[in-house]
Amino acid sequence: MDRADYLHGGLTPVECGRCTASVLVKKHSLQQTSVQWSTEAVHRCAEFAIGDSAQIPTCLALRDSIELAVKLGRLGLLNG
């Protein structure tokens, strides 16, 4: 696997059900999730809007949207 494939391969767009911010997500397992935020998504995120996004560990609404995408089969596990 080359560097570009490792960084970008397997990414799936997921939209937050709360604020419609769209991020790219990769699930390696049920416990491990990689999320790539665009500048636009950070600005759109309702939870990040209340403070410095660097100080907020995660957006709970987006986490719920990712879990729903897995449950509905829209986002698969790379190793599963």
Domain membership of residue 37 as a residue range: 3-71
Answer whether residue 28 is part of any domain.
Answer: yes
Q: Mind giving me the DSSP string for 50-64?
A: GS-GGG----HHHHH
C-alpha span between 24 and 40 (Å, rounded): 12
Could you give the number of structural domains in the chain? Answer: 1
Give 56's pLDDT tier (boundaries 50, 70, 90): low
Strand partners, 77: 27
When pLDDT is averaged across residues 4-25 and rounded to a whole number, the result is 88
First CA to last CA across the chain, in angstroms? Answer: 18
Tokens of 51: 């403070």
pTM: 0.81
Answer whether residue 41 is part of any domain.
Answer: yes
Q: What mean pLDDT, rounded, does the chain reach?
A: 86
Contacts of 60 (CB under 8 A, 6+ apart): 47
